[in-house]
Amino acid sequence: VKTGCTINSRAFSSCTRLASIHIPKTLKTKALGLNSANPFAESGVASVTFEDGIEAIPDGLFGKCSRLE
C-alpha cells in the first residue's frame, strides 16, 4: 500500500495471490474504504506489517482472510 493513496471498498477482495501488505501510518481509516465493505475481504493475505505510529486498526479490515496468521 503506497503512502497517500486511497483504497476503495473491496479493492483486493478475492485476490488470492495477494500475499503480504505493508500499511504506512499515513493511510487513514477513512482511506481504507470501510464504510461499505472491507478492502481485503477473502484475499490471500498471509502477512501484514503496520508502520510504527498506526493509531487504530479497523474491525473487519481482514475479514475472512483464512491465510492470515
pLDDT tens-digit map of 19-60: 999 888 777 666 555 444 678 888 999 999 988 887 777 777
Cα torsion for 31, 36, 39, 45, to the nearest 10°? 130
* pTM, 2 dp: 0.67
pLDDT at 3: 58
- Asked if pLDDT for residue 2 goes beyond 70, the answer is no
Largest Cα span, the chain = 28
